[in-house]
Amino acid sequence: MSAQATLAQFLPEYLSDLTVRGYSRETLRVRGDQLRIFLEYCQERSATEPSAITLAFVERYARHESSRISEQTGRRLAATTAIHRLSTLKSFLGFLVKRQAMLFNPALELEFPRTGKHLPRGVLTAREVEHMMLVPDILTPCGLRNRALLELLYSTGMRRSEVCKLNLEDMDFGGGSVFIRQAKGHRDRITPVGKRALFWLQKYLEEARPAMSDSADAALFLARRTGRITPAQVSFVVRTAREACGIKKPGAAHILRHTAATLMLENGADVRYVQQFLGHEALSSTQRYTHVAIPALKAVHAKTHPANYPERDP
């Protein structure tokens, strides 16, 4: 492709390059969407060729992204969202340099927005989770599937993208575990599954899954019309159960992941075991849950810290 090609013409080649390098379909979808937002911004300003992308142009785009209002929430985009989009842009421009469509990557000089350390927003109590489990109508195939799905998410702390990728062969009922393939960071892992979740999964497989429209599919969880269940459908199941219980805490599928990690820590689990359970590469990602598990810490503090005892006369 010549150096006169437009930015938009390089996008398919960039995504193809990511495919060859082993990036997941979800990553390709997200990066493609992010870059189309950038290309639309460029088109509106008649900056359609690589030569038009300067440091000043990229800085203006970064400010634009930082001030953008989300159509879904009505609030400014989170700093992490802006960072992800700018990181994708940096990668794309680097690809253009390799293809000799640009002399240098102006995004290398870009200062990314700063982010603070945020605690998980939605953490349920054990009682709230139990109420959610009772919402699905287990007398229907979809309701029984939803109960099994909720139980597995809570038992394993899986991400919604991970549970959507599960195949029948990934469940080890005898060993009480599930094989999670190509999770975040392209890492496979095996995580334990509780007895109650295994019971509902077995019941779903025997009584509900055969009634699904595409029961020959290898996927563990099926939807009636789409075959393999989608991330959006997983979020819908969790959000519906949460709202049916009148729980106002924010979050959908990830709320069960946050809750599982927090309650395990409150019940005495070592943070490194929880790190392995969640599939975190860095311990710092898991340690934020130790701040959420503050009630247990306060109880220990009240019992053991000398300052909590009445002053004694010397």
CATH number of the domain that 17 lies in? 1.10.150.130
Catalytic annotation present for 280:
yes
Question: pLDDT at position 282, please?
Answer: 53
**133 and 99 fall within a common domain:** no
The reply to whether 90 and 13 lie within a common domain is: yes
Instruction: Clarify whether residues 141 and 255 are in a common domain.
Output: yes
Mean pLDDT for each 10-residue chunk of the chain (314 residues)?
Answer: 76 93 85 94 93 92 81 68 87 94 89 58 82 94 95 88 91 89 68 90 94 81 86 91 87 80 74 67 51 50 52 48
pLDDT at 25: 81
- Whether 278 maps to a domain, the answer reads yes
Q: 313 in a domain, yes or no?
A: no
- Selecting among 31, 159, 209, 258, the annotated active-site residue is 159
Q: Please indicate, yes or no, whether residues 155 and 95 belong to a single structural domain of this protein.
A: no
Tell me the β-bridge partners of 172: 177
308 lies in a domain? Answer: no
159 in catalytic set: yes
Residue 119 lies in a domain: no
Are both 61 and 197 inside the same structural domain?
Answer: no
Q: Tell me, what's the pLDDT at 221?
A: 93
Domain that holds residue 50: 7-109
The answer to whether residue 114 sits within a structural domain is: no
Q: Is 254 a catalytic residue?
A: yes
Looking at 77, 109, 141, the residue that finishes a domain is: 109
Same domain, 166 and 277: yes
Task: Specify whether 27 is located in the same domain as 105.
Answer: yes
For the chain, the domain total comes to 2
Judge if 217 and 181 occupy the same domain. yes
The answer on 198 and 85 residing in a single domain is: no
> Residues 14, 257, 301, 303: which is the catalytic one?
257
Domain's final residue, options 62, 82, 109: 109
**What was the pLDDT predicted at 113?**
64
Domain-ending residue, one of 109, 140, 160: 109
Q: Looking at the structure, do residues 250 and 170 belong to the same domain, yes or no?
A: yes
Instruction: Report if residue 289 sits inside a domain.
Output: yes
Q: Which of 84, 90, 131, 184 is catalytic?
A: 184
98 carries an active-site annotation: no
Residues 100 and 131 in one domain: no
Same-domain pairing of 27 and 96: yes
Annotated active-site residue 239? The verdict is: no
Looking at residue 271, its pLDDT comes to 66
Distance CA 83, CA 9 (A): 24
Single out the catalytic residue among 85, 145, 160, 254.
254
Q: Is the pTM of this model over 0.85?
A: no
Residue 19 lies in a domain: yes
Residue 164 inside a domain? The answer is yes
Can you give the CATH number for the domain in which 239 is found?
1.10.443.10
Is 160 part of the annotated catalytic residue set? no
